[in-house]
Amino acid sequence: MPAAALRPDDLSSLALLYFIPQGQAPPGKTDSLSLSNKLTGRLLFPTGQGMQGVNVLGRRWRQYWSTTEDWYTVSSVSGFRYRRTNGNPVTGKDTSVAASMGRVAASDEGYYELTRIPMLPGNWQNVYLETEPINSLYTGQYAVGPYTVGTVEPSGTSSPS
């Protein structure tokens, strides 16, 4: 891979930001989901509340192989589209940076999206998801989203779906 080539995880993030629907790619561009998969879902606590700020990782499993790849191909942070508050009539409109991130829709709490997972050779592939806490060193100016003082520890155990 040339030094300037983007990794699949970077391409997934770019496809999320600049999505090109099938059949609408201008000359010289490619549909975002060309030769790839897209996975979305929600991480939930047993109570049904969305689990925010957890790293969701995807590994590809090639057709007819007995194991997954040794590396994670794509990742997403759960709840990246959600924001907790937008102020109220008593406190007034929240104009902070945190309030400008995401939406207050409950369906976005715990939501993750792996927008572009490149296909391995063949006509199908499985993608296995795992979760992990975000690196605890990502605080302050290096924080992931609004988690400036620390990260979230995933709750419970992973179960296949």
**Statement: residue 130 has pLDDT above 90:** yes
Mean pLDDT of the chain: 80
- How do residues 92-118 score in pLDDT, each as one tens digit? 776 666 565 566 677 888 899 998 899
Please give the share of the chain, as a percent, with pLDDT higher than 90: 17
Find the distance separating the first CA and the last CA of the chain, reported in whole Å.
34
CA-to-CA separations, 100 to 51, 66, 77, 83, 97, in angstroms, rounded:
20, 45, 18, 8, 5
Whether the per-residue pLDDT at 36 is higher than 60: the answer is: yes
Answer yes or no: is pLDDT of 35 > 60.
yes
**pTM listed for this prediction:** 0.74
